[in-house]
């Protein structure tokens, strides 16, 4: 593990302004948080710092608002939810830099917790712009990164700040890295990876290396559609990034050369609309109608996935197999999650899963507690699996 400082190295912090990068990119529906796992996981760091009298100033992103303010991506509703989950008062400021932030920080008493508005409302965040990082740093004396799940992003609040302020890993950052090292540092083989979800363009590249590290890769969710289209299968109106077909083809070539089996859906649950109560049908993967959307992998695919789970000694999973938020498109994810949990309970499988929505899906299936380890991270966890040192983690070791 990179040699970084932790909260154990942080003394005499009463009255100090501590900027804490957390991940509050939580699943939401109709303005309500539907899975609070990421909020729960930041509790140890926040309570420790607050109880020691620090002024705890939270930096976080939500969604992908493209560098400008977007009310739909405000962190305000998450501040309310966090108050309930953490049982602490959480103050809120309408911007993460400038007067709004500075004034809110100036009003803080020792031990207070303040959440600043979405860092991604400023273009400098994702560009890791030095001036933007300096504007963030102006409100802090110390920087703590507790957002392991965003540590694969070299952004101002996840990387840049570590070079401007004395930098420390938070308790969750530390715990995630220790748990992944313990569970997957030298994984029992065969290792099966399951990758699904919707973040196709940001996750597809990392499959190129992942296929060299694992023995088999199940591809489901929106990710599968891009692979199906790349091999010439009609996917109708499904979520699909057709321009990534060359990348998908190259991944399939790399997998064949590395001896990694690629398992794509053989059937699908298809609907014309993505809404509760929409009519759906199960079709063979070659028979997806031109006006249909693949919203889940089908039952025959689940049989295949479960057979691969039976052969595996370790499974790593990021991304639901279908649009699990709406029934019946949760069926495959729930069935495979329960099968993995059952084998874990029998002592036959080490199961590690991660990602904001993946954790929500495991909670929905009622099996999150039965997995060997559940990480808050999806993309970051897969990049860690690739063997990469994540920029947010590296900066803690090389920063101030």
Ligand X SMILES: Nc1ncnc2c1ncn2[C@@H]1O[C@H](COP(=O)(O)OP(=O)(O)O)[C@@H](O)[C@H]1O
Residues annotated as binding site for (2R)-3-phosphoglycerate? 38, 120, 153
Per-residue contact flags (x/-) with ligand X for residues 352 to 381, judged by CB under 6 A: ---xxxx-------------------x---
Question: In angstroms, what is the minimal distance from the CB of 38 to ligand X15?
Answer: 8
Reply yes or no on whether 31 is catalytic: no
Map residues 188-207 to x or -, x wherever contact with ligand X15 holds by CB under 6 A: -----------x--x-----
- Residues 57-96 vs ligand X15: string with x where CB under 6 A? -------x--------------------------------
- Applying CB under 6 A, does 25 fall inside the site for ligand X15? yes
Tokens of 204: 């597809």
Of 16, 17, 21, 38, catalytic = 38
Backbone torsions φ then ψ of 269, nearest 5 degrees: -100, 120
198 binds ligand X (CB under 6 A): yes
By CB under 6 A, the count of residues binding ligand X is 21
Nearest to ligand X15 of 199, 338 (CB atom): 199
**Is 104 within 8 Å of 139 (Cβ atoms)?**
no
Q: Is 292 in the site for ligand X (CB under 6 A)?
A: no
Task: Report residue 32 as tokens.
Answer: 């309500």
How does DSSP classify residue 222?
Answer: H
Q: Contact, 2 vs 396, CB < 8 A? A: yes
CB nearer ligand X15, residue 265 or residue 391: 391
Give the single-character DSSP code of 168: E
> Which range binds ligand X15 by CB under 6 A, 145-153, 158-166, 208-216, 285-293?
145-153
DSSP 246-304: HHHHHHHHHHHHHT-EEE--SEEEEESS-STT--EEEEEGGG--TT-EEEEE-HHHHHH
By the rule CB under 6 A, 318 interacts with ligand X: yes
180: Cα separation from own chain's centroid: 14
Tokens standing for residue 67: 């560098």
The CA distance from 366 to 375, in Å, is 16
Q: Is 38 a catalytic residue?
A: yes
Residue 325 near which of ligand X15, ligand X, none (CB within 5-8 Å, type-dependent): ligand X
**Residue stretches of the annotated binding site for substrate:** 23-25, 38, 61-64, 120, 153
Long-range contacts of 8-15 (CB under 8 A, 24+ apart): 9/168, 10/142, 10/144, 10/168, 13/49, 13/52, 13/53, 13/54, 13/142, 14/52, 14/53, 14/54, 14/110, 15/53, 15/54, 15/55, 15/110
Q: How far apart are CA 68 and CA 290, in angstroms?
A: 36
Three-state DSSP at 207 gives helix
Q: Please name which of 247, 246, 227 lies closest in space to residue 238, comparing C-alpha atoms.
A: 227
The listed partner (ligand X, ligand X15, none) that binds 95, CB under 5 to 8 Å by sort, is: none
Over the window 302 to 341, marking each residue x when it contacts ligand X15 by CB under 6 A and - when it does not, the resulting string is: ----------------------------------------
Q: By CB under 6 A, what part of segment 227-246 binds ligand X?
A: 239
DSSP state letters, 224-260: HHHHHHHTT---TTSS--GGGHHHHHHHHHHHHHHT-
| Contact between 322 and ligand X per CB under 6 A | yes
Active site includes 127? no
Question: Residues 140, 378, 379, 392: which is the catalytic one?
Answer: 379
Q: If binding means CB under 6 A, how many residues of this protein chain bind ligand X15?
A: 13
Of 356, 378, 392, 399, which residue is the catalytic one?
A: 356
- The Cα 282–Cα 284 span in angstroms is 7
Catalytic residue among 5, 88, 134, 199: 199
**The only residue of 27, 65, 183, 378 in contact with ligand X15, by rule CB under 6 A:** 378
Fill in the DSSP letter of residue 286.
G
- Residues lying near ligand X in the complex (CB under 6 A) are found at 196-199, 221-222, 239, 294-295, 318-320, 322-325, 355-358, 378
- Residues of this chain that interact with ligand X15 (CB under 6 A) are 23, 25, 64, 149-150, 153, 199, 202, 355-356, 377-379
* Residues with a known catalytic role: 38, 199, 356, 379
């Amino acid at each position: 593990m990179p040699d970084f400082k932790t909260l154990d190295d942080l003394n005499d912090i009463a009255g100090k302004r501590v900027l804490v990068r957390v991940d509050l990119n939580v699943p939401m529906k109709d303005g309500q948080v539907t899975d609070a796992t990421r909020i729960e996981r930041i509790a140890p760091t926040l309570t420790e710092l607050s109880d020691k009298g620090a002024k705890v100033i939270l930096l976080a992103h939500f969604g992908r608002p493209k560098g400008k303010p977007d009310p739909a991506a405000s962190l305000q509703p998450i501040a309310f939810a966090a108050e309930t989950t953490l049982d602490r008062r959480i103050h809120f400021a309408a911007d993460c830099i400038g007067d709004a932030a500075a004034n809110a920080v100036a009003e803080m008493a020792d031990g207070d917790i303040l959440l600043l508005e979405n860092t991604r409302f400023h273009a400098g965040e994702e560009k890791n712009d030095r001036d933007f990082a300096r504007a963030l740093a102006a409100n802090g004396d110390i920087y703590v990164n507790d957002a392991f799940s965003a540590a694969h992003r070299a952004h101002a609040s996840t990387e840049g700040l570590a070079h401007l302020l004395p930098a420390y890993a938070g308790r969750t950052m530390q715990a995630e890295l220790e748990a992944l090292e313990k569970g997957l540092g030298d994984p029992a083989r065969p290792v099966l990876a399951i990758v699904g979800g919707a973040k196709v363009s940001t996750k597809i590249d990392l499959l190129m290396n992942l296929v060299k590290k694992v023995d088999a890769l199940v591809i489901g969710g929106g990710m599968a559609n891009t692979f199906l289209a790349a091999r010439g299968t009609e996917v109708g109106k499904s979520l699909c990034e057709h321009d990534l077909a060359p990348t998908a083809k190259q991944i399939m070539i790399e997998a064949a050369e590395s001896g990694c089996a690629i398992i794509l859906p053989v059937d699908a649950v298809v609907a014309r609309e993505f809404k509760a109560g929409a009519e759906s049908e199960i079709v063979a993967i070659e028979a997806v109608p031109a006006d249909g959307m693949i919203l889940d992998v089908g039952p025959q695919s689940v049989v295949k996935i479960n057979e691969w789970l039976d052969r595996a000694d370790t499974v790593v999973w990021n991304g639901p197999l279908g649009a699990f938020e709406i029934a019946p498109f949760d069926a495959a994810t729930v069935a495979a999650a329960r099968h993995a949990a059952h084998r874990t309970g029998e002592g036959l499988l080490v199961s590690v899963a991660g990602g904001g929505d993946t954790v929500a899906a495991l909670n929905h299936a009622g099996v999150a507690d039965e997995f060997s380890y559940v990480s808050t991270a999806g993309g970051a966890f897969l990049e860690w699996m690739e063997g990469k040192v994540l920029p947010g983690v590296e900066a803690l070791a090389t920063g101030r």
